[in-house]
Amino acid sequence: MVSVSGVFRPRPTYLHNTNLDLNSVQELPDSHLWPALDAEGSGNLTYVESMPVIDLADPDVVGRMGHASETWGGFHVTGHGVPLGLIDRLESQVCRLFSLSREQKLNAARVPNSFNGYGQVPIAAFFEKSLWSEGCTITDSPVNWASRLWPDDYIEFCDVMEEYKKEMKALCVRIMWLMLASLGITKKDFDWAGPNGDLDGSWTTLQLNWYPPCPDPNRAIGLVAHSDSPILTVLYPSSTSGLQVLRENGTQAHWVTIGPVPGSFVVNVGDLLQILTNGRFRAPLHRAFVNRTHHRLSVPFFIGPPKDALITPLSKLVSADRPQLYRAVTWDEYLGIKRKYFQDALAVVSLRAPMDEPSNVSDHGSLESG
């Protein structure tokens, strides 16, 4: 048996200058200049394809979600019931946060060994060049750091985030069971989803992303190509285009710009759901480009199992014709693998013979040729 460490090399990590105020930069600094970004990566080339739009009231919602999860790895969802007023308040509070000065925002900077608070997305550390974006991560109550930003006026921000997280968790649970129903999976097939299948004890995180206008968007990138690690992501994309998803068709692959659909969220399959479904659902590679004249915000909500839950392909989806593709792994263990191997993480837990070749994602976030 070939050792994983002999085939996949851990990715190096980098420290970045966190003192640069992207909102005031007039010329793209070398620290944010990415080499050889393709036209698609800069948002200049758009393929005429539309990610499926699925209304939760559609009589064929189960079948449509299953097909979209197998062919796209995601879809737009409408008819979700999340109050539009709450979405408006969410966007207002995100704009309020990122309109603060750099010095003010650093009062909420993450402390070592914590994901809570202000800073770049964690995957930025895998790349030598910096991302044209900033973010804020909420894994539990934001009161501790929000009160440092607005000592006398933090309650509204915290209330909106907590209310939104509650709505997102309920929506994620609903969507996950509909998706899995397309494969004949029920709540009885899980031993970690809780007695009512409401994912009590699940891991959840809310990420606030901000992409300021960029003086040279053709040579900068907001978020590098990656797949999401947990079970499911539900993303509020705002009204400005910037999200791209990799579409694969046999040996061909290209990036598709996902335009906004009013009143919808974007749902992405995560790595753990790919493992659970034995590869039937695919966690899509996606990335974000930036804009010369407009800022963009996005708010993904991530949900995963309890940290000690054992994730393995569901027995109903394993057969002689489709043998088990991945070994069992806890969520906590998989997070450690992803932090070490980044986009090779799924290959590291694969039971198929490993190939002595690198990940298909290059350091500039594009798909490598051939």
Query: What are the residues facing 310 on neighbouring strands?
Result: 330
Task: Please write down the long-range contacts of 188-193, taking CB distance under 8 Å and 24 or more positions apart.
Answer: 189/314, 189/315, 189/316, 192/305, 192/306, 192/309, 192/310
Which parts of the chain fold into alpha helices (H)?
4-7, 61-71, 84-98, 102-105, 143-149, 155-181, 271-276, 331-341, 345-348
Written as six digits, the tokens of 125 are 């550390």
Task: Say if CB 358 and CB 139 are below 8 A apart.
Answer: no
Cβ contact 100:178 at 8 Å = no
Active site residues: 296
Helix (H, G, I), strand (E, B) or coil at 330: strand
CA dihedral 76, 79, 80, 84 (to 10 degrees): 100
Q: What secondary structure, in 3-state letters, does 243-294 show?
A: EEEEEEECCEEEEEEECCCCCCEEEEECHHHHHHCCCCCCCCCEEECCCCCC
**Which DSSP letter does residue 12 get?**
P
CA dist., res. 323 & res. 342, Å (int): 25
